[in-house]
Structure 1
Amino acid sequence: MRHYLYITALVFGLLFSCNSNKEVVAKDQHNDKPKLESDTIRIANDEIEYEIIIIDPGFTSWFNSYAKPRGFYTQSYLEARNIFWVTEWNRRVIMSSQYDPSLYEMQINYNSYTNYGYEVNYMLYNYLVYFQLTNKQRLGGFPPEFKYEETQRTLEY
């Protein structure tokens, strides 16, 4: 049985996806590196039967430009951030009257006791960093950071 982790950010997606250039990064079955296909990212780990699907037209471009290379973070680092940020994300989905429901449309089914592997955690982490920076949201705890040319950019409130 295959389990899915879906992340959809349709703030820009619904408005612009019909006319956008479509590029996707999908995990090749014989290679750990993603390959470019359209604006939906699918990362699958057939060994543990989990995959992550990210639908957001701006993410691929951001990822290719700003994400740290694979191996930069340890899996435990990624898992710690993901657990914290996904918990807050899911809380905001439930409390849709307090948070923009167009940003937090559906819960992310992420279990801290499941080993999703490095690639799933890496892509989820990068999406959550991208989401926070581009939507000026802070999921709490650890501020998202990334190198932007010569200066360090963090989310400040």
Structure 2
Amino acid sequence: MKTFIYSIFVIVAIVGCSTMDTGKNKKLTSNSSVKNDTIRIVNDSLEYEIIIFEPGFNSWLGTQPPRGYYSQSAMEISNAFKVTTYNIRSRNPIKYGRHLYPFAIDYNRRTDYGYEVNYLLYNYFLFFEQKYNQKLK
């Protein structure tokens, strides 16, 4: 369980800090904006923690449908498929690169992570797909 949380944190941190050139001019962000883009959720009873550290994610999340728009089961199904695709790509660094998919994500479909974790993971995958022009099907 804790491996899942640490994997998400490390992946998000590495992807957020990567120096991948997309051909567009990028503006440097200050430390205060990076702090504003860190989202942390802790559930002591289930012993998990999810930290999303990705510049721009918090402001992007504000433009998405609100909590309650999607059902938890729909997001869990989507997350399970996207985690599977993500993990396949993380295990094939020659084809997909190490910068976008540095580690596999430990996500168990049978574990109830709750609405908030599934909501953030679901939206992070959408953000990841848009920002890095990836399709996780």
The TM-score, its normalising length taken from structure 1, stands at 0.70
- Identify the structure with the greater strand proportion: 1
1:45 aligns with 2:37: no
* Structure with larger RCO (C-alpha < 8 A, sep 6+): 2
Segments of structure 2 that go 5 or more residues without pairing to the other structure are 20-25
CA contact (8 A) 2:13 2:54 kept: yes
Map 1:5-154 → 2, pairs under 5 A: 5=5, 6=8, 7-8=11-12, 10-15=14-19, 19-23=29-33, 38-64=36-62, 66-140=63-137
Change (3 A) 1:84 1:93: same
Contact 1:13–1:55 (CA<8 Å) still a contact in 2?
A: no
Q: 1:12 to 1:114 in 2, by over 3 A?
A: closer
Structure number having the greater helix percentage: 2
Counting matched residue pairs gives 126
Stretches of structure 1 that go unaligned for 5 or more consecutive residues are 25-36, 141-157
Q: Per-residue CA shift, 1:41-76, capped at 9, x if unaligned?
A: 211222322121112112111112x22111111110
Give the secondary-structure state (helix, strand or coil) at the position aligned to 1:76.
Answer: helix
* Amino acid corresponding to residue 100 of structure 1 in structure 2: G
Pairwise CA RMSD: 2.3
Percent same amino acid at aligned positions? 47
Q: Deviations over 1:10-50 (max 9, x none)?
A: 4452459x8534357xxxxxxxxxxxx53322112223221
